[in-house]
Each structure stands twice: as structure tokens, then as C-alpha cells.
Amino acid sequence: MTSSPYLAPIEDSLSTFKDNIFSGKVLFCTGGGSGICKGMTRAIMRHGANAAIIGRNIDRLTETSKELSEQTGKTCIPIRADVRQPQTLQNAVRRTIEKFGRIDFVICGAAGNFMSPISSLSENAFRTVVEIDTLGTYNTVKATIPHVRDAKGAYIHVSTTLHHRGTPYQIHVSAAKAGVDAMSNVIAVEEGPHGVRSNVLAPGFTSGTEGMRLMTGKTKVKADGFSTPLGRFTEIQDVANAAVFLFSPAACYITGQIIPVDGGAEHLRGDLFPYPSSVIDPSSVRKLLKGKM
């Protein structure tokens, strides 16, 4: 598949939207310490919002918040919380309100993943992923919804395209993210009368992320021969640009939608990616269960 300049992601969504469209707004983002959620947080902040990033690794959160504040000129605060524990999320919301006075946008992005065939997947490992992804999303919405209602704000839930087909070694994540998709649809219907919108972004295999490393053993993989219509892997900036759009006034009538950001890959037949057993890393499971991922 030949490459073409138009296939590259828009490097900076500031080239599309006014740089102050989120002035005075506040973002609450779980999983914002790294990867896709860090990229989305940066993009929202570069358009004028302040942010609170939530996660379990306070050292990484502190480093990221400093970096994002310096890059954007806005304020980002780190708050340690575990999305499986409602009390810690309620505390994170309280601290965010004390600092900024409001919450307009919420990104439910905390997630856990590793590769395992069902024959080797323990009940505890399956439960942990569902608790982080599905229950964690529920807990995040419950903790934030009064403030998002007040702001007539919006949710973005970070999902995946893995469960849109039978993806091997991903039964735990497929089940968890299918639940996230379903919850977003219900939130859109229930909270729409309160002025709240809820949508899902479903990235494809995304370069430069921990998820890519878990799938391939590397964070950066050449996309030669990769079977997507646009001929490359998803980039973090692709997802960040989509998030800016969904939170922007341009998307004020879009809710209850599941939007893949995968270059059209889910519309192709066949396996999208090789899954050799050699890349299944048991240490990833141990790290997740110990709260280090």
C-alpha cells in the first residue's frame, strides 16, 4: 500500500479549532498520566481548559501534570485515585472542585490490558480488567455526574474495536469494553434531558502506547502491509483531535455514538493483527493485578 501525505494525522488540532474554545472549562480525566488519555488531555488544555488527571501512579501523574502545564500554559493537577474504589474518586472530584470550581468534561480512560487465551486466563485476571474498565467507568460517572449536569457538559469513554469482532487473546477486554459502550448509550439517553452528552471513542491499534507494546512487544511498529484503508496505525493525535471535536460546540448535537478511530480497519475482513503466543507477557498480568499498570 502506497503512502500519501494526506494519510498523516493532523499534527495539531489547533489548526482546525480556535485555541480558546474551552476557555474557562475544566477536564477530569482518568488514566490521564500516559498514552492516549495524556494526548487527549494535552489537546483539550491547548484549547483553553484546565485539567485534573487521575490515576494510581502518583509519580507518573505528577510528572505528566507538570509537563502538560508547561506545554499548554494552563493548570493540570495530579490526583491519586483508584477507579475501582468509589471513595477515592469522590475525593478526586472534591479536590478538583476545590481547585477549579467546576467539571465540564470527563474522559473515562482508565484501563487495563494484557494478552491471554481464555484457557490460561484466571478468574481474578478477568475480574480485574472488568473492574477497572467497566466498573471504573460507572464509578467515574457516578462521582462526576452532578457537576457535569450543572455544566451541561459531556463524557468521552475510551473503548476499543476489539469486541466488534472475535479478537483472540482479548476476551477480558472485549467483555469490559462492550459494557463501557452500553453504559455510554444509556447515559446519553438518561442524561440528555439534563443537557449532558455521552460518546465513545474507539481507537484502533495505536502507535506509541502501552497497549501497542502489550500487543507486539514494541511501542513503535512499522505499518508496512498493515491492512487498513488508510495504510497506517492510529496515532495518539488522531484520537486527541476526535476528542477536541466531541467536546466542542461543533458536536453539540452528537450523543450516544460509538466512533472508531482506526482508519477504517474494522470494515475489513480477516485478522487485523498477528497474535503470536510469543508476545504474551505473563509479567503484564502480574503488574496489572498489583496495581502497577
Segments of 19-124 assigned E as strands = 26-30, 50-55, 76-80, 105-108
Which of 15-19, 63-67, 234-238, 266-270 shows the lowest mean pLDDT across its residues?
Answer: 266-270
Q: What is the mean pLDDT of the chain?
A: 86
The pLDDT, as a whole number, for residue 266 is: 82
Torsional sign, CA 20, 242, 130, 178: positive
The pLDDT, as a whole number, for residue 4 is: 44
Residue 222: band (very low, low, confident or very high) from pLDDT cuts 50, 70, 90: low
Kindly tell me if the per-residue pLDDT of 220 is higher than 60: no
The pLDDT, as a whole number, for residue 123 is: 96
Residues in CB range of 11: below 8 A, 6 or more apart? 237
Give the separation between CA 205 and CA 94, rounded to whole angstroms: 35
Determine the average pLDDT of the residues in 158-185.
94
Centroid of chain to Cα 207: 14
Q: Are 128 and 171 in contact (CB under 8 A)?
A: no
The pLDDT, as a whole number, for residue 149 is: 98
The pLDDT, as a whole number, for residue 261 is: 93
The pLDDT, as a whole number, for residue 140 is: 98
Residue 155: band (very low, low, confident or very high) from pLDDT cuts 50, 70, 90: very high
Residue 13 per-residue DSSP state: G
Residue 223: band (very low, low, confident or very high) from pLDDT cuts 50, 70, 90: low
Between 276 and 37, the higher pLDDT residue: 37
Neighbours of 193 (CB within 10 A): 7
Q: Per residue in 247-293, pLDDT tens?
A: 999 999 999 999 999 888 888 755 444 444 444 455 554 555 555 54
Ranked by mean pLDDT, the top range of 96-110, 196-210, 221-235 is 96-110
Among candidates 167, 153, 151, 253, which has minimal Cα distance to 202? 167
Residue 206 per-residue DSSP state: B
Between 272 and 133, the higher pLDDT residue: 133
Total residues found in the chain within this entry: 293
The pLDDT, as a whole number, for residue 194 is: 98
Kindly tell me if the per-residue pLDDT of 224 is higher than 90: no
The pLDDT, as a whole number, for residue 277 is: 42
Give the separation between CA 110 and CA 108, rounded to whole angstroms: 6
Active site residues: 159, 177
Domains in the chain with CATH codes:
13-265+280-289 (3.40.50.720)
